[in-house]
Structure 1
Amino acid sequence: MKRILVADCKQEISSFNPLPSGYENFHIRRGAELYEQRGTNQELGGAFAVFEARPDIEIVPAIGARSGSAGILSAEGWKRLSDEILATIFAKLDGVDGIYFSMHGAMAAEGELDPEGYLLMKLRERVGPDMPIVISLDLHGILTDRMLRQVNGFTIYWTYPHVDFADTGRRAAELLLNIMDNNLRPVAARVVMPALVRGDELITKSGCYGDLLRDCRRLEEEGKALAAGIMIGNPFTDVPELCSQVLVITDGDRETAEREAVRLAEEFWPQRFRMQGKLISLDRAIAQARTMPGPLIFTDAADATSSGASGDSNAIIAALSSAGYDKKVLAPIVDAKAAAAAHAAGVGATIEVTLGGTVDPARFTPMKVTAKVKLLSDGEAVLETMKAPLSAGPTAVLTFGSFTVVVMSRSVSLFDRAMYYANGLDPLDFDLIVVKSPHTEYHMFEEWCEHNFNIDAPGSTSANLKSLGHTICARPMYPMEPDVTFSPQPVIYNLKG
């Protein structure tokens, strides 16, 4: 029997969210609790299916630590989390022959701007140079030099909006077994591109980014690469190695890895202009919305909680209210005080509260409303595609004028309709729906709305990247410096094992 240890650690942060996250943001699963992902569209679900199909493989489930996107992780939270993850893994290493570690790639903590690299470095120090380690990553992650020096292989999402979680875990598990069974000697080529990208061209089903990722997939399917991907980072995770990058792994074929990585980078670079957010001013969007029957989507990507934003932006609902927009509006917001007031008053009560500006008051001024409490809930929901749990804390549905607002105590990912559905609301019943995510799966909103307005609003995940104030990432960096030049400089890694 070959024993494979499995672990999971994920968080995506925005450095521009003023509220740090902590240990309490993480859902910790230990040992056999990781099997909760069996059969789900999650990385471990895909990996378990591969490992369990092999009678000669024994799985050693170690620990899973997942947090919704948020602000930078506090130093205290990181120390407690990293100590627990490493101690749990180290206690299970006896007799282990290989390791699969599911990661995100866009973590950052106070005092440690490469948390994934730290965990992998400490793991490598403990297991020595011969233990195969394979990781999987979100394409919005940052695969750092330190991470690459610890691992034998990696797999990266190929879809956005993301639907290939389990498939990425499957590919990682198959790559790990291939390395273990066949004594492969993986070599990786990495080409870093000084560009941050956003916008509709990143939708892999229809955008130019998807064309490039399909070529990465072709390289794997044809056997020319063990793994290939293009990571675009999370533009809001302001860390030293934030960038876009091409990564190609082959079995000892340095020439092919280098050639394909350079080719893909040269194809990506001229399209960086297209891969930027196309925004419309809020005033103009409202003016146009008045003349349209709808339903309409107002995308508030600047307050995208799935990218690390605070979720307490009231910019859109305040502007719609001031403009006298009188059609039915549905919107989410994070405001623990307002949710608590609603729970104290009870369903049917009328309360006077402020909405928004509780987490990021420098950007958002609290909005006074007199509202009716329509529904109260525990804020529990399940993501539509991943089937992963959401926990927004005490939640209330408040109505005032033509507005229906889902008020949550904590930020959760809002890249689908889960929180609306969990609180008895169907977006199809409204004329204008606020979506706090840059993109969603097509059938969720785009398929049935008349138009989706990508609003230029303030927020810690604004697609207007120049407005955020990066101070740590390498410069020059497009689009902050529009005239930056680029010449592919591949770096070769002879991966361990």
Structure 2
Amino acid sequence: MPKILMLDMKQEISSFNPLPSGFENFLVYTGDAFYRHRGLNTELGGAFSVFDAREDITLIPTIAARAGSAGILSAEGWKTLSEKMIAEIAPHIDGADAIYASLHGAMGAEGELDPEGWLLTEIRRMAGPDKPIVISLDLHGILTDRMIRQVNGITIYHTYPHVDFADTGMRAAKLLLRILDEGIRPVLARVVVPALVRGDELITAIGCYGDLIRECQRIERDGTAVAAGIMIGNPFTDVPELCTQVIVQTDGDAETAQREAVRLAEEFWPQRFRMQGKLIGLDRAIAQAKTMKGPLIFTDAADATSSGATGDSNAIIAALEKASYKGKVLAQIVDPAAAAAAHKAGVGATISVTLGGAIDTGRYTPMPVTARVKLLSDGQARLETMKTPLDAGPTAVLTFGNFTIVVFSKSISLFDRAMYYANGCNPPDYDLIVVKSPHTEHHMFEAWAEKNFNIDAPGATSADLKSLGHTICARPMYPLDPDVTFTPAPVIYWG
């Protein structure tokens, strides 16, 4: 009976967020708590659905450690996390026949810019050369040479906005079982593309990136490849191997893997111009909003907490107030002091506080407001798509003039409506809604909004990539550098 060891370690960071994250950012499940992922739309949930269907498989759950996107993980935080991971995994390695690791790929820590590579190297050292290891990754991950050399198979998200978490875990589990049951020997071709991309063309349902992803899905489904994907990295994780890369794996056929990887890379490269953020100036967007019925969405992708930003940008609400916008505004912000003041004062109280600029003080100036405390909560919710928990800490809904602001104590992912709903706010009831995410699932906002404005605002995850100040990633790199050439240079692994 094959024994499969399972583990999970996930965080996405922005190198341009001034506040490092720590071990306390991670929600850690060990022992029986690991099984809480069963039935969820997570990679582990998908893998469970495959493994549980086999009576001849014994599972060895070890540790699931997940943190919301944030600033770089502190050296102390990484030391604690890495020691915890090894402590939970090491006692079970000898008894395992194979290993499945659910990872993100866009982690980064002070002193270790490739945490996933480090972990996989340690796992391979403990497991020995013969036990198969399969991993799953976010398409925004940065797959490094060190990571690839430790594993035997890789599956990658195929959707953005991401909805195929469980599907990716299912594909990883099935690939691992093929290695165990059928003895397939995957060979991987990797083509690095010197481009960082952002914008609406990355929406896989409608964008040109999605057309290429569907080619990856086709060659998986027709048997040409055992797994394929195009990883666009997280442009805000400034690490040495940040890039776009095409990954194609076949069953022992290096020539086909190389041919398909080169073909997809050559199709991707001419479209890099399209795959950039199309931003509108804040003043212009407000001027247009004043003449429109709405509801309207103001997308604040520059302060996208799900990409690693701080969440404390007040740039949009401050500009709306200054411009005397009259419609009803709904927004979210991270400001622990304001949330604490509201909890101390109580529902119905009027308080004078500042909003914004609580964390990223170099980019945002605190905005003084006198507001009524409309609602208080513990900041607990669940993501709509994944059903995994959110914990924003003590949370308050403040109202002043035509503004309703949900104020959090901690940064959490805001790529759906969960925290609006959990705090008594229904977005369609407002004229203008601020969304701190570059994209959301269509039905959540755009399906009922008159217009979605992608605002040009400052932030640690701005789509104006040249404004961020990359210093570590390989250069030249489009669009950071004006004249970048590309000739596919496939590298074959495991062949």
- TM-score tier by shorter-chain length is over 0.9
Following the alignment from structure 1 to structure 2, what is the Cα–Cα distance between the partners of residues 483 and 399? 49
Read off the aligned partner of 2:405 and give its amino acid letter: V
Please tell me the root mean square deviation across aligned C-alpha atoms, in Å. 0.6
- Residue in 1 aligned with 2:370? 370
- Residue in 2 aligned with 1:230? 230
- Residue in 2 aligned with 1:3? 3
Alignment of 1:74-473 (within 5 A): 74-473=74-473
Read off the aligned partner of 1:485 and give its amino acid letter: T
Displacement of 1:467 in angstroms is 0.2
> Secondary structure at the residue paired with 2:433?
strand
Following the alignment from structure 2 to structure 1, what is the Cα–Cα distance between the partners of residues 284 and 452? 13
Displacement of 1:281 in angstroms is 0.3
Following the alignment from structure 1 to structure 2, what is the Cα–Cα distance between the partners of residues 317 and 131? 54
Following the alignment from structure 2 to structure 1, what is the Cα–Cα distance between the partners of residues 86 and 206? 41
- Residue in 1 aligned with 2:53? 53
> Secondary structure at the residue paired with 1:16?
coil
Read off the aligned partner of 2:38 and give its amino acid letter: R
Following the alignment from structure 2 to structure 1, what is the Cα–Cα distance between the partners of residues 326 and 411? 28
- Residue in 2 aligned with 1:478? 478
Displacement of 1:225 in angstroms is 0.4
Read off the aligned partner of 2:328 and give its amino acid letter: K
- Residue in 2 aligned with 1:24? 24
Question: Is the CA contact (8 Å cut-off) linking 2:196 and 2:244 kept in structure 1?
Answer: yes
Following the alignment from structure 2 to structure 1, what is the Cα–Cα distance between the partners of residues 31 and 48? 14
Following the alignment from structure 2 to structure 1, what is the Cα–Cα distance between the partners of residues 93 and 86? 11
Question: Is the CA contact (8 Å cut-off) linking 2:5 and 2:98 kept in structure 1?
Answer: yes
Following the alignment from structure 2 to structure 1, what is the Cα–Cα distance between the partners of residues 2 and 189? 29
Residues 120-165 of structure 1 show CA distances to partners (whole Å, capped at 9, x for unaligned) of 0011011110010000000000110000000000100000000000
Residues 11-54 of structure 1 show CA distances to partners (whole Å, capped at 9, x for unaligned) of 00000000000000000000221111111111111100100101
> Secondary structure at the residue paired with 1:45?
helix
Following the alignment from structure 2 to structure 1, what is the Cα–Cα distance between the partners of residues 36 and 418? 20
Displacement of 1:79 in angstroms is 0.5
Displacement of 1:326 in angstroms is 1.2
Read off the aligned partner of 2:107 and give its amino acid letter: M
Displacement of 1:93 in angstroms is 1.9
Displacement of 1:482 in angstroms is 2.5
Residues 437-483 of structure 1 show CA distances to partners (whole Å, capped at 9, x for unaligned) of 00000000010000000000000000000000000000000001122
Following the alignment from structure 2 to structure 1, what is the Cα–Cα distance between the partners of residues 215 and 30? 37
Question: Is the CA contact (8 Å cut-off) linking 2:236 and 2:461 kept in structure 1?
Answer: yes
Following the alignment from structure 2 to structure 1, what is the Cα–Cα distance between the partners of residues 34 and 169? 14
Following the alignment from structure 1 to structure 2, what is the Cα–Cα distance between the partners of residues 107 and 493? 23
Displacement of 1:424 in angstroms is 0.6
Read off the aligned partner of 1:232 and give its amino acid letter: I
Following the alignment from structure 1 to structure 2, what is the Cα–Cα distance between the partners of residues 337 and 492? 52
Read off the aligned partner of 2:184 and give its amino acid letter: L
Read off the aligned partner of 2:357 and give its amino acid letter: G
Following the alignment from structure 1 to structure 2, what is the Cα–Cα distance between the partners of residues 37 and 139? 21
Question: Is the CA contact (8 Å cut-off) linking 2:161 and 2:441 kept in structure 1?
Answer: yes
Displacement of 1:313 in angstroms is 0.1
Read off the aligned partner of 1:321 and give its amino acid letter: E
Read off the aligned partner of 1:468 and give its amino acid letter: L
Read off the aligned partner of 1:418 and give its amino acid letter: A
Read off the aligned partner of 1:477 and give its amino acid letter: M
Following the alignment from structure 1 to structure 2, what is the Cα–Cα distance between the partners of residues 407 and 54? 46
Read off the aligned partner of 1:45 and give its amino acid letter: G
Superposition TM-score, scaled by structure 2 size: 1.00
Residues 63-84 of structure 1 show CA distances to partners (whole Å, capped at 9, x for unaligned) of 0000000000000000100011
Following the alignment from structure 1 to structure 2, what is the Cα–Cα distance between the partners of residues 298 and 435? 6
> Secondary structure at the residue paired with 2:180?
helix
Following the alignment from structure 1 to structure 2, what is the Cα–Cα distance between the partners of residues 41 and 429? 29
- Residue in 2 aligned with 1:70? 70
> Secondary structure at the residue paired with 1:291?
coil
Read off the aligned partner of 2:172 and give its amino acid letter: A
Read off the aligned partner of 1:121 and give its amino acid letter: T
Structure 2 unaligned regions, length at least 5: none
Read off the aligned partner of 2:56 and give its amino acid letter: D
Read off the aligned partner of 1:92 and give its amino acid letter: H
Read off the aligned partner of 1:422 and give its amino acid letter: A
Following the alignment from structure 1 to structure 2, what is the Cα–Cα distance between the partners of residues 161 and 63? 27
Displacement of 1:94 in angstroms is 3.2
> Secondary structure at the residue paired with 1:91?
helix
Question: Is the CA contact (8 Å cut-off) linking 2:313 and 2:333 kept in structure 1?
Answer: yes
Following the alignment from structure 1 to structure 2, what is the Cα–Cα distance between the partners of residues 485 and 31? 50
Following the alignment from structure 1 to structure 2, what is the Cα–Cα distance between the partners of residues 148 and 31? 28
Following the alignment from structure 2 to structure 1, what is the Cα–Cα distance between the partners of residues 257 and 312? 45
Read off the aligned partner of 2:396 and give its amino acid letter: A
> Secondary structure at the residue paired with 2:93?
coil
Displacement of 1:277 in angstroms is 0.2
Question: Is the CA contact (8 Å cut-off) linking 2:3 and 2:97 kept in structure 1?
Answer: yes
Following the alignment from structure 1 to structure 2, what is the Cα–Cα distance between the partners of residues 201 and 31? 42
Read off the aligned partner of 2:226 and give its amino acid letter: L
Displacement of 1:191 in angstroms is 0.2
Superposition TM-score, scaled by structure 1 size: 0.99
Residues 155-213 of structure 1 show CA distances to partners (whole Å, capped at 9, x for unaligned) of 00000000000000000000000001112211100000000000000000000000000
Identity %: 75
Following the alignment from structure 1 to structure 2, what is the Cα–Cα distance between the partners of residues 482 and 118? 34
